[in-house]
């Protein structure tokens, strides 16, 4: 897709301009979200209109005007061209998701990680997804592991409603249980000591939730997928720093780090990692 966008924009922009632009595209269903650098802001309408005219799949173009922020991890978007809607349908790993790109967090960039974790699940697992968003991890895991049961918590009411719809769309009503609320409260009040595995896909503050995650495991033993951000000069050191960060976060508990994945660079010398931690 990026290649196609480059080709389309080549005719309208200087080489240096479109190189910069194409590295910061997200295509979610029919919606393109582009980070337009300040230097190109006079051309943002031209860029957006070109995408609508020339790339069939794109029906709406937004410019991203803020980083991802707030409790619900949202980004401010400016509508630039096409249909003025934030709702789209996104397909990933044979699952279908209704997504609201303004009022919920959603990133297609975690696709590989979603499939990787899906493949680690054993039969009959009880899983808690502490920060489920519109249900992406939960639904993909459930699609590939029909004997698992997944409690899917999110504090954003819009994400919760879409998670419910996505469970219906993917016919996983028996397997995925949506819960609206704060993960700490919901686990403490209802889900202590029941899980075989916990997902913590909120890298900014996951560390604050480690005790809660472990308290949800049956007999305080099981697997935790711990997401974090680490500073590093390159991918290799990101892995080393990820091991250090994870060891510190789980220092209270007997644990083994079975794997660390460096998911992506989220800023200059700033990486997202996922650690597969086994509490023993
Ligand atoms: C980075 S997003 C991850 C969403 C989803 N797992 C995905 O990959 O698409 C983090 C999510 O955590 C939710 N969230 C933030 N604080 C929370 C809390 N204390 N309890 C439950 N959910 C929370 C946000 O609303 C957001 O949807």
Domains of the chain and any CATH numbers: 2-85 (3.30.300.110), 102-279 (3.40.50.150)
CA geometry: angle at 111 spanning 108 and 116, to 5°?
Answer: 165
What tokens does 10 get? 């080549």
Q: Say how far residue 279 (Cα) sits from the centre of its chain.
A: 24
Task: State which ligand 1 atom lies nearest to the alpha carbon of 107.
Answer: 9
Give the mean model confidence (pLDDT) for residues 225-243: 96
- 16 CA → ligand 1 middle, Å: 36
Residue 200 has pLDDT above 80, yes or no: yes
* Predicted local distance difference test score (pLDDT) of residue 25: 79
Each residue's pLDDT tens digit, 131-155: 999 999 999 999 999 999 999 999 9
Name the closest-CA residue to atom 19, ligand 1: 182
Name the closest-CA residue to atom 16, ligand 1: 71
* pLDDT-derived band at 40, boundaries 50, 70, 90: confident
Q: Say how far residue 130 (Cα) sits from the centre of its chain.
A: 12
Residue 202 has pLDDT above 60, yes or no: yes
- Beta-bridged to residue 81, according to DSSP, are 61
- 132 CA → ligand 1 middle, Å: 6
Contacts by residues 249-258 (CB-CB < 8 Å, ≥ 24 positions apart): 249/206, 249/207, 249/210, 250/210, 250/214, 250/224, 250/226, 250/277, 250/279, 252/211, 253/214, 253/220, 253/279, 254/279, 254/280, 255/279, 255/280, 256/280, 258/223
Give the mean model confidence (pLDDT) for residues 210-234: 97
Write the DSSP symbol of residue 108.
G
* pLDDT-derived band at 75, boundaries 50, 70, 90: very high
Task: State which ligand 1 atom lies nearest to the alpha carbon of 129.
Answer: 6
153: Cβ below 6 Å to ligand 1? yes
- 144 CA → ligand 1 middle, Å: 22
154: Cβ below 6 Å to ligand 1? yes
* pLDDT-derived band at 249, boundaries 50, 70, 90: very high
Task: State which ligand 1 atom lies nearest to the alpha carbon of 153.
Answer: 21
Residue 37 has pLDDT above 90, yes or no: no
Task: State which ligand 1 atom lies nearest to the alpha carbon of 203.
Answer: 1
- 103 CA → ligand 1 middle, Å: 12
Phi, psi of 215 (to 5 degrees): -65, -20
Each residue's pLDDT tens digit, 78-129: 999 999 999 999 999 999 999 999 999 998 889 999 999 999 999 999 999 9
132: Cβ below 6 Å to ligand 1? yes
Name the closest-CA residue to atom 25, ligand 1: 72
166: Cβ below 6 Å to ligand 1? no
Closest CA to 275 of 236, 250, 145, 126: 250
- 106 CA → ligand 1 middle, Å: 10
* CA 66/CA 96 separation, integer angstroms: 27
Give the mean model confidence (pLDDT) for residues 185-192: 97
Residue 21 has pLDDT above 70, yes or no: no
Q: 279 or 68, which is more confident? A: 279
Name the closest-CA residue to atom 1, ligand 1: 202
199: Cβ below 6 Å to ligand 1? no
b/e 37-67 (16+ beta carbons within 10 angstroms → b): eeebeebbeebbebbbeebeebbbbbbbeee
- pTM, rounded to two decimals: 0.93
Give the mean model confidence (pLDDT) for residues 29-48: 89
Write the DSSP symbol of residue 121.
P
């Amino acid at each position: 897709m990026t290649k196609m966008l480059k080709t389309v924009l080549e005719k309208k922009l200087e080489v240096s301009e479109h190189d910069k632009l194409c590295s910061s595209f997200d295509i979610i269903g029919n919606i393109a979200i582009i980070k337009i650098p300040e230097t190109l802001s006079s051309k943002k309408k031209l860029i957006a209109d070109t995408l609508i005219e020339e790339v069939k799949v794109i029906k709406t173009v937004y410019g991203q005007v803020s980083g991802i922020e707030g409790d619900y991890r949202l980004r401010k978007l400016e509508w630039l061209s096409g249909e003025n809607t934030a709702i789209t349908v996104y397909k990933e790993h044979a699952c279908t998701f209704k997504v609201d790109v303004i009022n919920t967090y959603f990133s297609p960039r975690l696709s590989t990680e979603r499939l990787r974790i899906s493949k680690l699940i054993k039969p009959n697992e009880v899983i808690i997804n502490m920060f489920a968003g519109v249900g992406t991890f939960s639904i993909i895991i459930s699609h590939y592991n029909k004997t698992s049961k997944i409690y899917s918590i999110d504090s954003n009411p819009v994400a919760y409603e879409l998670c419910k719809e996505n469970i219906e769309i993917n016919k996983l009503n028996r397997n995925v249980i949506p819960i609206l609320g704060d993960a700490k409260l919901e686990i403490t009040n209802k889900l202590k000591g029941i899980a075989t595995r916990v997902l913590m896909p909120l890298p900014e503050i996951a560390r604050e939730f480690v005790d809660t995650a472990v308290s949800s495991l049956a007999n305080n033993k099981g697997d935790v997928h711990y997401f974090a951000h680490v500073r590093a000069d390159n991918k290799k050191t990101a892995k080393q720093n990820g091991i250090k960060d994870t060891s510190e976060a789980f220092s209270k508990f007997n644990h083994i780090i079975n794997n660390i994945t460096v998911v992506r660079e989220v800023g200059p010398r700033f990486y997202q990692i996922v650690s597969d931690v086994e509490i023993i």
